[in-house]
Structure 1
Amino acid sequence: MLDTILPFATQETAGPVHNELWRDLVPLLAGRARVRVSRDNGRNYRQRDERILDATLPSRPAAVMLHDATTGLAKILAIDFDSGTRGVDQVEIDVRRTQAMLSEHGIRWIHDRSPSAGEHLYVPISGGITTGDAVDFLRLLAFRCPTVDPMPHMTVQHGCIRMPGSPHKLGGRQELLMSPKMALTVANSPAPRPLFDALHRSLEHLRPATPEPEPVGSVNDRDGQSEMNAGILTVARNGFQPGGKYDSPSEARFAVLRAATNAGFDTPAIYQRMNDGRWPGLNTLFSRYRSPLKELQADLNRLQSKGHRGGHNTVVKNNTSQPKAQGGTRSVRSVGFYEWLKIWRNASHARELTYGPSRVGLQLRLVLRALGEAASKSQSSFIEFGCRALAIATGLDHSTVSRHLRRLRAEAEPLVRLSSPAHGKYADTYELVVPEGLVNGSLAISYRVGKLHALRPVFRALGVVAAFVYEALEQGMKTAPEIMRSTGLSRSATQDALAVLEGHHLAVKAREGWIETGANLRFLADLLGATDDVEQQRNIYAQQRFLWVSWLNTRLVTHSGFAYPDQDYPFDEFEPSEDTYPPPG
């Protein structure tokens, strides 16, 4: 596997202090009494591995849920300092800087450290904190403290963090850096909300300037989208409020979705906002469902079946107007994800024909198709597949994939753009887009049938040209001229590829023209050794991944000097001495 991690071999036995922390302290910090126990030694904390949080300390890495599933509120602000981004020294600087800020505003915290030298500060807040407020604060804090990771608070449904006493994948445990007595005191004395709000406001000067002010009474939540009513956005951010405008959570949910589709948001855009901290209230309204994405799509389909379509006005069911571009870059108007992907596929096919039949042109086409295939698998226009994963999908070298990705995103009207750069163990995130110049042409033709493929393994042996010709046959092309027009290949290359396909019983020439035989491509790939080629490439990249993760972990220096259980945390180090205050009167 590409995501190989270090073996979980040196787990220490939990001591009495760890068990007491898990029993007494952790329930005071948990947003809901649920914990996810990792089955792969700390690599993933899946929803299916979630169980009731009880007094028994898990034997494997465990992350406690931060937010209440009904209200969306967290009892604490969990500040995660990731040592894998800027190193241990920067973590130390950021932690001390944050502690000084908290103390300056009269806010106390609970402090722990992991064996990987990452650190957590837990800040109990009276009345709780929403996902939106937490993420907004952490993003502002990250401008000053670059090792801060807002991920634990990103979603109500999945937001979680390892707490004191939890085992770690490298061995050892989350160690409390203060006495348990002091930690319990802080947990039972949350900071008044006005103090946190004052701290939040003190970071406002770090917020990037917006290009222009929003109109009164409405908010433009994304460039290129229509305006949404501020009241609706309040529901999207804060969730259902009893006694408010809506009689039930369901009514509030549909009101937000109706406004969002009117404003031009498609399914991926809505789901992205639900999970990136911008619309945490809407996320809360879907939290009771096992698969919020599927329920979101079902709700949008219900709106469409009732005659609602995206756009500035609600239209009747027999709408004949075409979808329009979102600011010329994001996507077409509000349609289901797979319908949007088909439009993108038409646009990418039109762009592919401009690359020509050269070796570089064919490679660009493969990379573009690999991105589309990744989007289909992940059901999102945001692609988090690394260059090596795309290299396996295309049969290319990862350095070639990287070079072609740079070229694709540098085009005048790109079909893909960089959403966020790589950091640490995480790859670049790309977003598929439909340029405005390709929208009309993509909508004017029928959707391309069949699955979207990069390079199926058998065509590593038979050749890239044969792959494009075979796909044309799957699309219903029967003659060489039709195949040439569909693929952009020359006559000689097309004829040679047809001969290869015929020789391997993948195509046959009938009275009406060429047709594909429906042969088992996987069996032929095994027979030609292409499957072994894929596996060899996968193993090479898995080893490289292992070495990279090992290098990252060896760069982390675990600091000693944990506080003993009978030692109180030195808050006085962060508080001004009494003689700094003027005498009363």
Structure 2
Amino acid sequence: MTFVEDFSPSGGRHLYIPLQERLDASEARELVEALALTAASLDPSPHQNVTDGCIRVPGSAHKSGGHQVLITPLSQAYDVLRRRNPAAAIAALRTALAPELTRNRALKARRAKTAAAQRTAGAQLLQVSAGSETALRRTARTGLYDTARYKSPSEARMAVLNHFSACGWTLDQVQNELTGQFPGLAALYGSAEKQDRLMRQEWAKAEAWTQKGRPRQRGEKNAFINNTSPTKPTGGAPSASAAAIHQLVNDLENVLYAVLDHRLKDRGREGLSLRLLIRALLGYMRTKETDLLDVGCRTLAAAMGKHHVTIARLLPVLVQASDGILTKVADARHKAADVYLIQLPEQYQQLARELTWRRGKIHSIRPVFRALGDAAALVYEAIERGRHSPTSAELIRNSGISRSTVEKALVSMEGLGMIHRDGRYWKIMATANLRVLAERLGVMEDYQAQISRNRRERAVWHAYLDRFLEVRVIESDLCDSEREEHWIPPDDAALWQAA
């Protein structure tokens, strides 16, 4: 059997086996799962469903940098793709893998039998009546789902996880019931390895979808006024209040100044951008009063005075460098941006409690610093939000910026009347108006131009997406059943009298 091979920058390899005749998805899945039993490093997931699992072809750009590199010589690869493997080669492969195919079928039958026994035991234990049990709870208990509504087990289990998240369950509660009253949910994963690999990721997506599906308005009350309202979910904690979000932001600012700034200062110019990016996210978190942010790259770019491509490149880097503070929980889809969760990791909770909160408000890049630069913004923040008026040496040490850059920023800001020197200490000029200075420096026009450009590009993108919306025409749009549209002819007597 002939194949084409390429190499990924992440260290993996792809093998392409072109065929002369089509192969059903179920048959391809059996063969790949059988091959996985012979090679532990083989990933069968791209062939385990019919809708997902696309891989990068040779020459494609990789998300971590670099490209897929073709290992097979180009002339040989062209010959393999032109000739392709006949049906006899597939038959020979199936014969060679006959023991693995039999073993795989036995493993599936054993897992199905075990799941059925667990479902029967759970049904006898709970004595749940079919009339009072919801469809998604029944799916979680039995593992059976409506194939007309859910195309694959992954869609069915995501619906179940969304249901549990909406009811206020926690991840630990769901995991505890996988071997209890809901073994069918575990069966939907297929294997314990797949369950361990996907459970936390899918639960994070379920939580993000549940909280984003109906955002709670400020001042909204959850109390119901009559008995016809739906019951309030029980069993979980309510979403964080506005006061809790502000307290969380204050704690995260302490961690930012004490830990993250010192880690990111060693990254050079990229570190300056990352430090300002996390400040922008914390600022939006305080403004929106939520720990789940779906702010687009263009919005962050306008707030930081950078290009949206730069923001898109920095966000994954910040996720890795934030040590668990920033986590991506959902990918962008249609008009919605990527969803990020901001939280205080357990290893920083004690530190956040020991440090006192800082005065003032955190900013990303105020318009005036579009002209003065990122380093000047950080130096100004160190003076503005410092626990005491700092000296030049303290600014250099605390900001992690070189001496020449700090001194240049101090001279520029002192010349503009933003700061002044009182002996050895630097202080903020209370009468300085940063917006007026920005207008004088001519950066407000650039700021407004970037916002207008973002609006135009966003409108073009939305118009492009609207082209794919499915237009549905229902019967009531074509005909009103209560309106008589047929014509009733007059009787002969009326015509004779008229004549």
Could you tell me the TM-score, scaled by structure 1's length? 0.43
Q: Equivalent of 1:537, from 450, 466, 474? A: 450
Cα 1:209–1:411 change in 2 (3 A) is farther
Cross-structure match for 2:340: 430
Cα 1:198–1:405 change in 2 (3 A) is closer
CA distances 1:515-563 after superposition (whole Å, capped 9, x unpaired): 1112000000111111111111111111110000110112235355746
CA distances 1:311-352 after superposition (whole Å, capped 9, x unpaired): 9xxxxxxxxxxxxxxxxxx99xx9832121110111122212
Q: Equivalent of 2:315, from 405, 409, 413? A: 405
Identity %, equivalent residues: 28
Cross-structure match for 1:558: 471
Cα 1:391–1:412 change in 2 (3 A) is closer
Superposition pairs of residues 403-552 of structure 1, within 5 angstroms: 403-411=313-321, 413-475=323-385, 476-518=388-430, 519-552=432-465
Shift of 1:286: 4.0
Cα 1:447–1:486 change in 2 (3 A) is farther
Cα 1:144–1:341 change in 2 (3 A) is farther
Shift of 1:194: 6.7
Contact 1:479–1:514 (Cα < 8 Å) also in 2: yes
In structure 1, C-alpha distance between the alignment counterparts of 2:457 and 2:300, rounded to whole Å: 15
Cross-structure match for 1:374: 284
In structure 1, C-alpha distance between the alignment counterparts of 2:433 and 2:214, rounded to whole Å: 45
Superposition pairs of residues 127-276 of structure 1, within 5 angstroms: 197=133, 199-200=135-136, 203-204=139-140, 205=143, 206-207=156-157, 221-223=169-171
In structure 1, C-alpha distance between the alignment counterparts of 2:292 and 2:428, rounded to whole Å: 33
Richer in helix (by share): 2
Cα 1:504–1:277 change in 2 (3 A) is closer
The one-letter code sitting in structure 1 at the alignment partner of 2:169 is D
Q: Equivalent of 2:246, from 299, 318, 338? A: 338
Q: Helix, strand or coil: the match of 2:256?
A: helix
CA distances 1:88-136 after superposition (whole Å, capped 9, x unpaired): xxxxxxxxxxxxxxxxxxxxxxxxxxxxxxxxxxxxxxxxxxxxxxxxx
Contact 1:459–1:467 (Cα < 8 Å) also in 2: yes
Task: Report the structure number with the largest CA radius of gyration.
Answer: 2
> Which stretches in structure 1 are left out of the alignment for 5+ residues?
1-142, 147-192, 228-269, 289-310, 312-329, 569-585
Shift of 1:276: 6.2
RMSD across aligned positions (CA): 4.4
> Which stretches in structure 2 are left out of the alignment for 5+ residues?
1-48, 53-128, 144-155, 176-206, 226-236, 483-499
Contact 2:292–2:340 (Cα < 8 Å) also in 1: yes
CA distances 1:22-70 after superposition (whole Å, capped 9, x unpaired): xxxxxxxxxxxxxxxxxxxxxxxxxxxxxxxxxxxxxxxxxxxxxxxxx
Shift of 1:483: 1.2
In structure 1, C-alpha distance between the alignment counterparts of 2:279 and 2:446, rounded to whole Å: 20
CA distances 1:228-255 after superposition (whole Å, capped 9, x unpaired): xxxxxxxxxxxxxxxxxxxxxxxxxxxx
CA distances 1:376-434 after superposition (whole Å, capped 9, x unpaired): 10011111211111111111111111111111223472321112221111111111112
CA distances 1:469-518 after superposition (whole Å, capped 9, x unpaired): 11111123320122123211122211111101111111111225211112
In structure 1, C-alpha distance between the alignment counterparts of 2:468 and 2:168, rounded to whole Å: 44
Task: Compare relative contact order (CA 8 Å, sep 6+) and give the higher one, 1 or 2.
Answer: 1
Shift of 1:278: 13
Contact 1:477–1:483 (Cα < 8 Å) also in 2: no
Cα 1:467–1:539 change in 2 (3 A) is same
Cross-structure match for 1:29: none
CA distances 1:173-194 after superposition (whole Å, capped 9, x unpaired): xxxxxxxxxxxxxxxxxxxx97
Contact 1:384–1:428 (Cα < 8 Å) also in 2: yes
Q: Helix, strand or coil: the match of 1:424?
A: coil
Shift of 1:442: 2.7
Cα 1:284–1:516 change in 2 (3 A) is closer
Cα 1:386–1:495 change in 2 (3 A) is same
In structure 1, C-alpha distance between the alignment counterparts of 2:459 and 2:260, rounded to whole Å: 37
Contact 2:294–2:337 (Cα < 8 Å) also in 1: yes
In structure 2, C-alpha distance between the alignment counterparts of 1:335 and 1:491, rounded to whole Å: 39
Contact 2:208–2:330 (Cα < 8 Å) also in 1: no
Cross-structure match for 2:265: 356
The one-letter code sitting in structure 2 at the alignment partner of 1:448 is R
Q: Helix, strand or coil: the match of 2:363?
A: coil
In structure 1, C-alpha distance between the alignment counterparts of 2:466 and 2:326, rounded to whole Å: 32
In structure 2, C-alpha distance between the alignment counterparts of 1:510 and 1:453, rounded to whole Å: 25
How many pairs are equivalent? 289
In structure 1, C-alpha distance between the alignment counterparts of 2:426 and 2:215, rounded to whole Å: 52
Shift of 1:366: 1.3
Q: Helix, strand or coil: the match of 1:337?
A: helix
Richer in strand (by share): 1
The one-letter code sitting in structure 2 at the alignment partner of 1:413 is D
Cα 1:516–1:284 change in 2 (3 A) is closer
Cross-structure match for 1:234: none
In structure 2, C-alpha distance between the alignment counterparts of 1:464 and 1:482, rounded to whole Å: 18
